[in-house]
Amino acid sequence: MGGQSSELVQGTLDMLILKTLALEPMHGYGIALRIEQISRGVFRVNPGSLFPAFKRLERAGWIKPEWRPTDNNRRAKYYALTERGRKQLKAETAQWGKQITAIARILEA
Amino acid sequence: MSFLRSFADGLRALSRKTQAEKEMDEELRGYLDAAVKEKMRSGMSEEQARRAARIEMGSMEAVKEEIRTAGWESAVETVWQDLRYGVRILRKDPGFTLVAVLTLALGIGVNTTIFSVVSSMLLRKPPVDDPDRLVMLLSKAPAATEWGADRRPVSAPDFLDWRAQATAYSGIAAASSVEDTVDFTLSGGTEPERVPGNRISANYFQVLGVAPVLGRAFLPGEEEVGHDHVMVLREDLWKRHFGADPHVLGCAVKLNGENYTVVGIMPDSFRRMWMFPAQLWIPLAFTPAQLGPPARRSRALSVFARLKPGATESAARAELITIATRVAAANSETEKGWSANLMTVQKYAIQESSASAALMFLTAAVGMVLLIACANLANLLLARNSNRQREFAIRTALGAGRFRLARQLLSECLMLSLLGGGLGLLLAVWGLRVLRPAFNWNEYSVLVAEMLSIDRPVLLFTLGVSVAAALVFGLAPAFQISRRDPNVGLKESSRSTTAGREHHRMQNLLVTGQLALSLILLVGAGLFVDSFVEETRLNRGLNSANLLTASVSLSGTAYQDPGRQSTFFQSVLREIESAPQVRSAGVTSDLPYTFPGSANVTFEGRPAAKPDERPSAGYFAVSPGYFAVLQIPLLEGREFTPSDNARSSPVAIVNEAFAQKFFPNQNPLGRHINIENGNESSNSQRWSEIVGVVGNVNEFLGQVAPRPHVFEPFLQRPNGSVNLVVRVTTEPGAFSGSLRRAVWRVDKEQPVTSLRTMDRVVQDAGQGDNVMAELMGGFAGIALLMAAVGIYGLISYLVGRRTHEVGVRMALGARRGEILLLVLRNSMSRVCLGAGIGFVLSLALPRLVSASFEGFYHVHSGWILAVTLLAVILVALASCYVPARRATRVDPMTALRYE
């Protein structure tokens, strides 16, 4: 475990998953890997929080699961962003931006 | 929308469980494969990669559990799982389950029983329409400190003034108040009967909102003198006396020798208006004399009013006080300092029953019993948990969350508790069956006994108490489990030398608390039992053995003349005394150990007191030889003789309390007093000479300060309504039939009622003190037993845990005595701590109890405290000794090999 990996900010995992899926549908490990890579290893998401989050998002109707065949003759569960998910992502990103600016202002003051 | 979707998804997941599980497996396996592949790409060997991926993922089962609990459906499922698992666990250990369920059943059973009493005495609404809007308008006496000063009856002129001026009510009605409830003799039907009745204003039933089951209520015109000979019967009287004959409507029936037309029948439910115990009603017609200014002084009406829609109780009270103040200002001579008050009928009934204090103590007692039961349960569970540590550790390792484990434990507790509650309900049914016949000291208590039942509020209460109990005894063990580190649990051998400190502290705390509670309970019970024993053992002032009493009330025009009344009773006494088993017989207006009428007394040669401060005394009219019959000691002077009659000069006898209060350090004999007992017109000044002083006799059981009493010769002040007292040589109850026949030989129209032995009269005067003492004693016994079982269980458990240690000690040369001391010292320290805390807390009890009950004896409270403390310590010592001795029997070799 890398020394610089850190806990996710509370409540941001959902947003990160939505953002990751905004480009293309992915399966569970792909999402985890993408988050890790893009954050340069700062965020590592373990399956214990990742999969419950999928279930939550799916129940909320923001992502949609789909079984797709993989190269080695198996199938994998891919998740795709729904239209409502896209809206949710937009809203959350806007909200997040506001919060970041506010926090930055407080820290710089 | 999303809620609906979530709901549908959840349902689908529940119905296709295996499918969902399969997909989850597949997805996770895919995840793992992808991770391995990724790691191999970065240069690991397949084996390394697989290992790394596994470590990163953690426990696969734990991840699955996380996923499962993310949806709501898992909650439903786990509850079901918990229940099934719980049943299995409980069945696996039937001994534990049995002890736990029985303990809880006892604890919950006593609570249910007492709640049923509370519910029927305090929570029942009066049987009227919309009872919360029906209020009583009351007079408020100037001396606010007097008992019941804020709920006095109302005078007729006040009632009419209030009715004319108040605007907050849709109707105001009056009834002659309880103290003024008239006993009517009802003729017709099979036998003459004496029944309590009320005079009521015509709109009474309309204000109460009760409709007749047959016929009609009174009409406004029937309130007028001359039109008021109509009557309404209560259903049970109608059935009993007239065989439920509907043709009695419209018929004339003799009431006190006068004809009254029956116009209606009121429902049986009126019995529950116990504070107004009328079985028949006639109109309340005011004569001009009852409305004059002096009549404001005679406050004798119960006034009922129904609040108008929208009117609040406080606004109505404010208005009423304003009116009362105005009336008082206009009639300052009679109304000075008087005001008014208002309360709902239910509240009035509760205050009138004066049972609240007793019920409060009983409720506290059963609450403590339940707490002790819960402490036992908690201790049992804590002990059991430590035996189940490995199970919990394994389950945690397999992915059970802490919350999940705690919930599992709590649902086991809930199951135990519900089983206990069910059994407790059965216990309560039995308890009520035992309790019912014990509620027999007056009409009200009999009515309460009839109402005692397991109804819906009681069932809800039992359910609530069961659930609450489960939380109380389950939370601590559940919390403890959820905090334990599974690694320790797995490593720790099932028989470690000493167990963790943490939960022993909790167990010790529980045992200490239990002991403190049972000591408090025992002291409380001791006080009640002692007071009861004391008041029954106390000198009663008379010899109640072999005495029979009965009540006769003469009715009919034939007996309106006092001379006739006097002759009648003289003939009856002659008839009674002619029976061979009768030693003597007498007549008195009121029996001892009941509340007598009151008389105002003035003394010759002393200035007259102000009207409201006139000295008063309990009043009796008694036949010659009455004191000899009851064997009330004559302290000075002489008894009444047959020559103290209507033709001789008036005489009186007073009791010791009277002499001490009004003639301190003087000889009362030969002094003259004027006795005004309300029946006579107050103008007649008649000086009676005091000819004797007799011993004090109480008005109720346990009365500490005897009230002054004054006696007049029955032959000088005859009375139509009296009690016969007969001393017989045989068992007094067996004489009842002969007594009745003796009265009927003189006049067979006269009802003979309330046949009771004097012992019974005295017992009834205790107003359930015996029941209170028995209940408190029983609860304290249960508490002590439970606490003993609790200590025994805990010490056995601790000794069991220390078998190994004891073995080591003995192998190293410790003697049996030393081991015994070691165990005892250890356990007795917490016993003493608990008993000490309980002792200190109970120091306040004697004062608390005597402040709540009038005439409560606590002569022996010091003794009770000391004896109880000793008893608790001894019982605790005995419960520790048995397991401690077992510890000394340990064979060191076996103990050491046991590992």
Q: Mean pLDDT throughout B842-863? A: 77
Residue in chain B closest to A26 (alpha carbons) equals: B31
The sheet carrying A75-81 orders its strands as A26-27, A75-81, A63-69
Do A27 and B56 make contact, defined as CB atoms within 8 angstroms? no
The Cα–Cα gap between B290 and B300 comes to 11
Do A75 and B26 make contact, defined as CB atoms within 8 angstroms? yes
- Where is pLDDT greater, at B275 or B729? B729
User: Taking Cα atoms as reference points, which of B372, B514, B385 lies closest to residue B797?
Assistant: B385
Do A46 and B6 make contact, defined as CB atoms within 8 angstroms? no
Determine contact: A5 vs chain B, CB below 8 A: no
Q: Is B736 exposed, middle or buried (0-12, 13-18, 19+ CB in 10 A)?
A: middle
User: Taking Cα atoms as reference points, which of B566, B740, B732 lies closest to residue B191?
Assistant: B740
How remote is the C-alpha of B49 from its chain's centroid? Answer: 75
Residue in chain A closest to B63 (alpha carbons) equals: A48
Total domain count for chain A?
A: 1
Q: What angle (nearest 5°) sits at the alpha carbon of residue B847, between those of residues B842 and B853?
A: 120
Q: Is B436 exposed, middle or buried (0-12, 13-18, 19+ CB in 10 A)?
A: middle
**Closest CA of chain B from A108, distance in Å:** 38
Residues 26-55 of chain B with CB under 8 A from chain A are 26-28, 30-31, 33-35, 38
Query: Would the pLDDT of B76 be above 80?
Result: no
The Cα–Cα gap between B601 and B614 comes to 7
Instruction: Name the residue facing B67 among A27, A52, A76 (closest C-beta).
Output: A52
- Report the pLDDT value the prediction gives residue B220, as an integer from 0 to 100: 87
**Closest CA of chain A from B37, distance in Å:** 11
Do B69 and A52 make contact, defined as CB atoms within 8 angstroms? yes
- The pair phi, psi for residue B305, each rounded to 5°, is -145, 145
DSSP H helices, B331-401, are: 332-335, 345-353, 356-387, 389-397
Contact criterion met (CB below 8 Å) for B673 and B604 = yes
The one-letter amino acid at B390: R
Instruction: Name the residue facing B9 among A29, A59, A75 (closest C-beta).
Output: A59
Q: How many CB pairs under 8 A join A and B?
A: 67
- Where is pLDDT greater, at B201 or B447? B201
Determine contact: A73 vs chain B, CB below 8 A: no
Instruction: Name the residue facing A55 among B1, B58, B70 (closest C-beta).
Output: B70
Residue in chain B closest to A48 (alpha carbons) equals: B63
Tokens 């000690």 appear where?
B809
Q: Left if phi > 0, otherwise alpha if psi is -120 to 50, otherwise beta: which for B670?
A: left
Beta-strand pair B230-234/B258-266:
parallel
**Closest CA of chain B from A28, distance in Å:** 6
- Report the pLDDT value the prediction gives residue B126, as an integer from 0 to 100: 83
Do B34 and A30 make contact, defined as CB atoms within 8 angstroms? yes
Q: Mean pLDDT throughout B265-285? A: 84
Range of the domain at A86: 13-108
Q: What is the DSSP letter of A42?
A: S
* pLDDT tens per residue across span B214-224: 999 999 888 88
User: Taking Cα atoms as reference points, which of B640, B661, B641 lies closest to residue B652?
Assistant: B640
- On whether residue A5 sits in a domain, the answer given is no
* pLDDT tens per residue across span B670-704: 999 988 875 544 446 788 999 999 999 988 877 77
The one-letter amino acid at B373: A
- Where is pLDDT greater, at B80 or A86? A86
Query: Would the pLDDT of B425 be above 70?
Result: yes
- Report the pLDDT value the prediction gives residue B178, as an integer from 0 to 100: 47
Residue in chain A closest to B68 (alpha carbons) equals: A52
CB contacts, 8 Å: A51 with chain B: 24, 27-28, 63, 66-67, 70
Q: CB count, 10 Å around CB of A91?
A: 11
Tokens 């301190």 appear where?
B664
Preferred mutation among B2, B57, B67 to probe A, highest tally of A CBs within 10 A: B67
Greatest mean pLDDT among B121-135, B393-407, B578-592 lies in B578-592
The Cα–Cα gap between B5 and A63 comes to 13
- Report the pLDDT value the prediction gives residue B147, as an integer from 0 to 100: 65
- On whether residue A29 sits in a domain, the answer given is yes
Greatest mean pLDDT among B351-365, B390-404, B420-434, B683-697 lies in B420-434
- Report the pLDDT value the prediction gives residue B486, as an integer from 0 to 100: 61
Q: Mean pLDDT throughout B370-390? A: 85
pLDDT band at B109 (very low <50, low <70, confident <90, very high): very high
User: What are the tokens at B670?
Assistant: 């030969």
CB contacts, 8 Å: B62 with chain A: 48
Q: Quick one: angle between helices B769-801 and B501-537, nearest 10?
A: 160
- Report the pLDDT value the prediction gives residue A9, as an integer from 0 to 100: 67
Preferred mutation among A35, A50, A59, A64 to probe B, highest tally of B CBs within 10 A: A59
- Report the pLDDT value the prediction gives residue B169, as an integer from 0 to 100: 92
Q: Mean pLDDT throughout B547-566? A: 80
Query: Would the pLDDT of A109 be above 80?
Result: no
Do A77 and B35 make contact, defined as CB atoms within 8 angstroms? no
Query: Would the pLDDT of B501 be above 60?
Result: no
Determine contact: A8 vs chain B, CB below 8 A: no
Residue in chain A closest to B67 (alpha carbons) equals: A52
Preferred mutation among B1, B6, B24, B27 to probe A, highest tally of A CBs within 10 A: B27
- Where is pLDDT greater, at B460 or B402? B460
- Report the pLDDT value the prediction gives residue B179, as an integer from 0 to 100: 45
Do B30 and A59 make contact, defined as CB atoms within 8 angstroms? no
- Report the pLDDT value the prediction gives residue B724, as an integer from 0 to 100: 92
User: What are the tokens at B651?
Assistant: 């005489």
Do A47 and B63 make contact, defined as CB atoms within 8 angstroms? yes
Query: Would the pLDDT of B102 be above 90?
Result: yes
Preferred mutation among B29, B31, B74 to probe A, highest tally of A CBs within 10 A: B31
Q: CB count, 10 Å around CB of B245?
A: 12
Determine contact: A58 vs chain B, CB below 8 A: yes
| Residue B413, SS3 per DSSP | helix
Instruction: Name the residue facing A33 among B26, B38, B66 (closest C-beta).
Output: B38
The one-letter amino acid at B852: S
How remote is the C-alpha of B185 from its chain's centroid? Answer: 34
The Cα–Cα gap between B589 and B587 comes to 7
CB contacts, 8 Å: B8 with chain A: none
Partnered with residue B341 across adjacent β-strands are B138
Q: What is the DSSP letter of B729?
A: S
**Closest CA of chain A from B890, distance in Å:** 50
- Report the pLDDT value the prediction gives residue B494, as an integer from 0 to 100: 47
Query: Would the pLDDT of B527 be above 60?
Result: yes
Q: Mean pLDDT throughout B242-267? A: 86
| Residue B341, SS3 per DSSP | strand
The Cα–Cα gap between B418 and B437 comes to 30
- On whether residue A7 sits in a domain, the answer given is no
**Closest CA of chain A from B80, distance in Å:** 22
Beta-strand pair B547-553/B169-176:
unpaired
Do B66 and A52 make contact, defined as CB atoms within 8 angstroms? yes
- On whether residue A25 sits in a domain, the answer given is yes
Q: Mean pLDDT throughout B767-789? A: 87
Q: Which long-range contacts (CB under 8 A, 24 or more apart) does B271-274 make?
A: B271/B234, B271/B236, B271/B447, B272/B124, B272/B126, B272/B127, B272/B447, B272/B451, B273/B126, B273/B127, B273/B128, B274/B349, B274/B443, B274/B444, B274/B447
- Report the pLDDT value the prediction gives residue B764, as an integer from 0 to 100: 84
The Cα–Cα gap between B455 and B481 comes to 39
- Report the pLDDT value the prediction gives residue B370, as an integer from 0 to 100: 94
Preferred mutation among B33, B66, B68, B72 to probe A, highest tally of A CBs within 10 A: B66
Query: Which CATH number do you get for residue A81?
Result: 1.10.10.10
User: What are the tokens at B864?
Assistant: 């009770």
- Report the pLDDT value the prediction gives residue B682, as an integer from 0 to 100: 46
- Report the pLDDT value the prediction gives residue B602, as an integer from 0 to 100: 87
User: What are the tokens at B20?
Assistant: 């969902």
Q: Is B150 exposed, middle or buried (0-12, 13-18, 19+ CB in 10 A)?
A: middle
Contact criterion met (CB below 8 Å) for B224 and B246 = no
* pLDDT tens per residue across span B276-330: 778 889 898 888 877 887 788 888 888 999 999 988 999 999 999 999 999 888 8
Answer yes or no: is the ipTM higher than 0.85.
no
The Cα–Cα gap between B97 and B3 comes to 41
- Report the pLDDT value the prediction gives residue B186, as an integer from 0 to 100: 67
- Report the pLDDT value the prediction gives residue B144, as an integer from 0 to 100: 64
- Report the pLDDT value the prediction gives residue B145, as an integer from 0 to 100: 61
CB contacts, 8 Å: B24 with chain A: 51
Least confident of B70-79, B203-212, B689-698: B70-79
The one-letter amino acid at B96: F
Query: Would the pLDDT of A58 be above 50?
Result: yes
